[in-house]
Amino acid sequence: MGPAERRRTALALLPLAVLGVAVGVAAYRVFDPAIAGDHSAQVEYLEFIRRRHRLPLAEQGFAMYHPPAYYLLSVVVSYVGLSLTDAARAVATTAWALEGVVAAVIVARLGGRWAASAAAAGLVWLLPGQANVATRIYPETLVGLGVGLLVLGMVELRRESPSGYWWLGLGVPLAGLTKFSGLVALAVVLPLVVWTERARLRRLAAVLAPGLGLMALFYGRNVAHYGTPTPLNADLFHLERLGGLYAAYPKGFFTRLSLGRCAAEHSFYGSAWKWLWATDCGVKPPWRGSVDGWLLVVALLTSLVVLVAWLWAARTGRRHLVWAAIALVPLALLLAFIAYNVRVPSGSSGLYVLVGIIPVAVALGGFASRLPVRFDILVYVALLGWAVAMATASGAF
């Protein structure tokens, strides 16, 4: 990408960034993170680290089965004078901003034009579900950033750039030590990286060793205490005793599609998809509590375009390992999310699948870049219209 193309890309990203800031301001002004069902458990995790200066065991709190990277970083940030809640939200929001930048950079590194890079960043910054997880105490955006850095590392190594090793070296601990879902992305990316770098395995091992070593310590401790590297709070606290969805799913839960006011009570896929655009089981301002009217139309069209882009990436991945990773990571994350819900009855939020947002956004950008150059303006105008609609759905206007 030459200087002129970089300038065009930066200018194209500017309106999207402004809309993203407007969405973030609206969320910080209106949304009370304390209404989230697990807020107190998340704060308890943060307070444990700050008071005791060590990591908890999974059994010591409802949210303490999560890997520690997000919570450790949030506690460190709190020492600049922020409350633990504000620090954790700041980390999530910063990771959200960086996710969009990483998505745009990956598309550009893969040869995408300015409009394609803007499309990738726009999806990351303006999807309502992204703003939701980015403005509460949630680790999704940080692990999503780690997943994006894994992909960026692969792309840079494909271009024979040494920076690829460093992006991988940072992405491995971010993905693997922020949430268990990051392990799924690592299981897809690392074998492909090892294969492509088989002639330089010593250098690759040296860069990955610190992150993998930290992961070995954390997951090894889990194995020593619980006999598994990934203990779940559903097992530790016997959540089935709470009844409702925690005890068993209603008939047709995985076959019925519904977008009702509380879809999570009777439709897995309806609730999961709904969370990308609004909230479920009650309105949580500034987001809506339903997907209907114009938002339903835009959401359906967006989902269709993203699906086509993913299919294109999957087809391209048969010839190029980078595109194989871009297609396989979100697929593996989705399948793992479904498997988790089959294994552990719960009211899990579809927001959890957003850890794979960067590969999906890159697939969208890659698909857009395959259109003729004359369509760039049309793509960008459509993107701006979509971005305004999404900002409206997130309460910015």
pLDDT 10s digits, 94-106:
999 999 999 999 9
pLDDT for 41: 93
Mean pLDDT value of segment 306-316: 98
Least reliable range by pLDDT among 3-7, 238-242, 387-391: 238-242
The structure tokens listed for 25 are 């301001």
Instruction: Say which residue the tokens 């990203």 belong to.
Output: 13
The per-residue pLDDT for 347 is: 65
| pLDDT at 208 exceeding the cut of 90 | yes
Q: Residue 245 pLDDT more than 80?
A: no
For 58, half-sphere exposure in the C-beta direction (CA atoms, 13 angstrom radius) is 25
Confidence tier at 125 by pLDDT (50, 70, 90):
very high
pLDDT at residue 343 in the model: 85
Higher-confidence position of 348 and 147 = 147
Least confident of 148-162, 239-253, 352-366: 239-253
Is the pLDDT score of 24 beyond 90?
Answer: yes
Average pLDDT over residues 244-255: 80
| Total-model pTM | 0.95
| Closest listed residue to residue 153, CA positions, set 203, 112, 92 | 203
Q: Is the pLDDT of residue 82 over 90?
A: yes
For residue 278, pLDDT over 80 is answered with: yes
Find all residues with CB under 8 Å of 327, minimum gap 6, and list them.
Answer: 310, 313, 314, 316, 317, 359, 363
The structure tokens listed for 321 are 């390992």
Give residue-wise pLDDT tens across range 286-301. Answer: 999 999 999 999 999 9
- Whole-number pLDDT of residue 349: 73
Q: At what angle do helices 321-343 and 181-196 cross, to 10 degrees?
A: 150
In the chain, the percentage of residues whose pLDDT exceeds 90 is: 82
pLDDT of 242 higher than 80: no
Residue 37: pLDDT over 80 = no
Mean pLDDT of the chain: 94
The mean per-residue pLDDT over the stretch 121-126 comes to 98
Please provide the DSSP assignment of 274-325 as one string.
Answer: HTTTS-SSS--TTS-S---HHHHHHHHHHHHHHHHHHHHHHHHTTT-HHHHH
Q: What pLDDT does 348 receive?
A: 63
pLDDT at 241: 76
Q: In the predicted model, is pLDDT for residue 323 greater than 80?
A: yes
